[in-house]
Chain A
Amino acid sequence: MYSQLAWRNIWRNPRRTIVIMTAVIIGVFSMIFLCGLMRGMEVEMIRNNLATLTGNIQIHQKGYRADPVVENSMTDPVLLENAIKTNLPEGAAWAMRVRVNAIVSNARHSTGVTFVGIDPAKEARVSFIGKAVTDGRYLNSDDTNKILIGRALLDKFKTKIGHKLIVMSQDADDEIASTAFRIVGTFRAEMESTEKAYVFVTLSDAQKMLKLKNGISEAAIAFKGQSIDGQKEKALAQKLKSRLPDSIYKVETWPELLPMMREYLSLFDNFIYIWYFVVFIAMGFGIVNTTLMAIFERMREFGLLKALGMKPVSIIRGVITESFFLLVSGIIIGNIAGIITVFLINRTGIDLSALAAGVEMWGMPRVIHPELWIIDVITANLVVLVLGLVVSIYPAAKAARFTPIEALEKT
């Protein structure tokens, strides 16, 4: 009986009902949509960061991360190789690298870069570089003294493919090693800073130049479906740790490798909740206000109910049921609108290229594909429903307190 009464009551004044329902719809829609945007951004940011030579898991010599110099490289990677090979999950790829800081220069320019020696075939499956070459060609494993640089660096140096670059760095004997490399190709990256920061040569060239023999700086493992909390990675890292002596090797998962990224993600999470709260406050006042208005308008009705002997609790229940129907209808329409919008935009993505310089700082993608997470949708709906009901207790209590006398006084 309550629900039937409530349903009829809310449609007695359709205009008011539609106004308040619109508030709920817009609130729910914005929560879902913004959340989808944020999640899409997060996932893309992680993918970007992992592809930029991070991988899901990295293994270094202990101390390398604090001081990435040649002295902290792994001199004999055989044990490491075996450990990785036996534990590698299906579909995962791995690669070894030499990575040091170096100076590249030509006749007019010079700049600091990260000099990376890669195994071209293996690296292509681990990081972005395999698919990023736009001009010239990718490295071959039998290249000697060939270098792959970013498009932005090429432009900055005003040089071209086929020209020479001199790379200088400290070698394993503490001497300054300098070697001439010829540019074979350029790569493009999501961010210009990546194009300027990395230069690639073959692993054997880097080892020869730095007098590392078989030494490597790091091994990276990459697999599909990185988890946002790094749980999958943790399991594999645990397995690897048991195979590698703790005193020499350090196995780290990406949340450990990118602490800033990890903190940023948790900031994102909190931001979502703050947004929920802000939207709700705006919506909550709307609900209270409109419901109160409705209550005062229907004072005679409540007075009459009271005079007929209805208990205050029943009046409260009636008003809250009305709110409940309002909220639920709003939530349903809001959800449908939000989910459809996210779904449609997901296909094309939102292009942020115009703001590229600004978003680059955080490694944000240029195109955002919003993504829906069930947990976010449920949270949004629960927040609106539960808090919506809570705030409508106040007008309901107000209605319950009217006496028949008061109702008669206010015609």
Chain B
Amino acid sequence: MRNRIILLLLFILVPSMPGFAADPDAKSLVADSFNYMRGRASISTVDMTVHRPDWERVTTIKAWTIGEKTSLFLIVAPPKDKGNGTLKKGRYMWTYNPKVNRAIKLPPSMMSQAWQGSDFSNNDLAKSDTLINDFTHYIEGTTIADGKKVYIIKSIPKPDAPVVWGMLKLKIRQDLILLEESFFDEDFKLVKTLTTREIKLTGGRLYPVKWKMQKAGAKDEYTRLAYRSIVFKETLPQQLFSLSNLKNAGR
């Protein structure tokens, strides 16, 4: 009898608790958005601007990606950095530096370091796929931007998930375009924010061509990505993503 009362109470209470009221769509919305933003496969050329209080550097990168697991980045300009590249396959990453003529598999110690001196860490590149599975996503609310509905999604890491963030906040537009991604630490203080702008029809779909990763509390420290071109494909040949291409494509 007592058990039944408890059960009954549970039935009444549970749906009203915010934690349990997860929108079943939140996870698929995030997954769909990430798939949309990445495409099945893509070839792109990006200008990456790393801005610091006393200097700024622009690098041009050519990138090939398949899904979220496989990618190849090559620096094509400026001439000083030309030939540097990063190959990612699954959880592994290699970097290549023409000056030492050697492809180095990144040890765990380097995974959390900045990629090519930017505000993106190697982990941001290598483990981006964990976002979908290591977090529990909730739709927190909606707003309207440019006449379209925008979902505000709060993502809390699962208790034992190996992620450093305490919380993520995503703004995803109705048509799956990611507008903003904020990274919070465990005290829910903002660490950095990724924002996208200038949504244009490029490579056959609507796509933001300006991305900016901004460190919280440091106005002069950010990394901006500006897409020169992006083409989405159904797939790319796997043999493109080989160590020899990492070494040779830049030459």
Interface set of A (CB-CB < 8 Å, partner B): 101-103, 105-108, 110, 112, 145, 159, 163-164, 166, 168-170, 175-176, 178-180
Which residues, 157 to 188 on B, are CB-close (under 8 Å) to A?
157, 159-166, 183-186
Interface set of B (CB-CB < 8 Å, partner A): 91, 107-109, 111-113, 157, 159-166, 183-186, 191
Contacts of A159 in B (CB 8 A): 186
30 sampled A-B residue pairs with Cβ under 8 A: A101-B109, A103-B108, A103-B109, A103-B111, A105-B112, A106-B185, A107-B164, A107-B166, A107-B184, A107-B185, A107-B186, A107-B191, A108-B185, A110-B112, A110-B113, A163-B186, A164-B164, A164-B166, A164-B186, A166-B163, A168-B108, A168-B111, A168-B112, A168-B162, A169-B108, A176-B111, A178-B162, A179-B162, A180-B157, A180-B159
Q: How far is the CA of A107 from the CA of B162 in the complex (A)?
A: 11
* Chain B residue with the shortest CB-CB distance to A102: B108
* Chain A residue with the shortest CB-CB distance to B184: A107
Tell me how far the C-beta of B221 lies from the nearest C-beta in chain A, rounded to whole angstroms.
13
User: Which of A145, A163, A164, A176 makes the CB contact (< 8 A) with B108?
Assistant: A176
* Chain A residue with the shortest CB-CB distance to B216: A108
Tell me how far the C-beta of A146 lies from the nearest C-beta in chain B, rounded to whole angstroms.
12
6 other contacts beyond A108-B185, A179-B160, A180-B160, with CB at 8 A cut-off?
A: A103-B112, A107-B165, A107-B183, A168-B111, A168-B162, A176-B91
Contacts of B159 in A (CB 8 A): 180
* Known contacts A170-B107, A175-B91; A180 and B186 CB within 8 A of each other: no
Q: How far is the CA of A166 from the CA of B162 in the complex (A)?
A: 6
Tell me how far the C-beta of A226 lies from the nearest C-beta in chain B, rounded to whole angstroms.
34
Q: How far is the CA of A169 from the CA of B110 in the complex (A)?
A: 11
* Chain A residue with the shortest CB-CB distance to B160: A180
Contacts of B183 in A (CB 8 A): 107
* Chain A residue with the shortest CB-CB distance to B161: A180
* Chain B residue with the shortest CB-CB distance to A107: B185
Check if A166 sits within 8 Å of B186, measured CB to CB.
no
Tell me how far the C-beta of A163 lies from the nearest C-beta in chain B, rounded to whole angstroms.
5
Tell me how far the C-beta of A143 lies from the nearest C-beta in chain B, rounded to whole angstroms.
13
Q: How far is the CA of A170 from the CA of B91 in the complex (A)?
A: 12
Contacts of B91 in A (CB 8 A): 175-176
* Chain A residue with the shortest CB-CB distance to B123: A105
Q: How far is the CA of A163 from the CA of B185 in the complex (A)?
A: 10
Check if B108 sits within 8 Å of A166, measured CB to CB.
no
User: Which of B107, B111, B186 makes the CB contact (< 8 A) with A106?
Assistant: B186
Check if B108 sits within 8 Å of A106, measured CB to CB.
no
Tell me how far the C-beta of A170 lies from the nearest C-beta in chain B, rounded to whole angstroms.
6
Q: How far is the CA of A110 from the CA of B164 in the complex (A)?
A: 10
Check if B191 sits within 8 Å of A170, measured CB to CB.
no
Contacts of B111 in A (CB 8 A): 103, 168, 176
Q: How far is the CA of A235 from the CA of B109 in the complex (A)?
A: 40
Tell me how far the C-beta of B158 lies from the nearest C-beta in chain A, rounded to whole angstroms.
9
Tell me how far the C-beta of A106 lies from the nearest C-beta in chain B, rounded to whole angstroms.
5
Contacts of A179 in B (CB 8 A): 160, 162
Contacts of B184 in A (CB 8 A): 107
Q: How far is the CA of A106 from the CA of B184 in the complex (A)?
A: 11
Contacts of A175 in B (CB 8 A): 91
Tell me how far the C-beta of B216 lies from the nearest C-beta in chain A, rounded to whole angstroms.
10
Contacts of A110 in B (CB 8 A): 112-113
Check if B164 sits within 8 Å of A166, measured CB to CB.
yes
Tell me how far the C-beta of A11 lies from the nearest C-beta in chain B, rounded to whole angstroms.
75
Q: How far is the CA of A112 from the CA of B113 in the complex (A)?
A: 12
Q: How far is the CA of A145 from the CA of B109 in the complex (A)?
A: 21
Tell me how far the C-beta of A175 lies from the nearest C-beta in chain B, rounded to whole angstroms.
7
* Known contacts A159-B186, A170-B107, A176-B108; A106 and B164 CB within 8 A of each other: yes
* Chain B residue with the shortest CB-CB distance to A169: B108
Q: How far is the CA of A101 from the CA of B183 in the complex (A)?
A: 28
Contacts of A180 in B (CB 8 A): 157, 159-163
Contacts of B162 in A (CB 8 A): 166, 168, 178-180
Contacts of A108 in B (CB 8 A): 185, 191
Tell me how far the C-beta of B166 lies from the nearest C-beta in chain A, rounded to whole angstroms.
7
Tell me how far the C-beta of A141 lies from the nearest C-beta in chain B, rounded to whole angstroms.
19
* Chain A residue with the shortest CB-CB distance to B192: A107
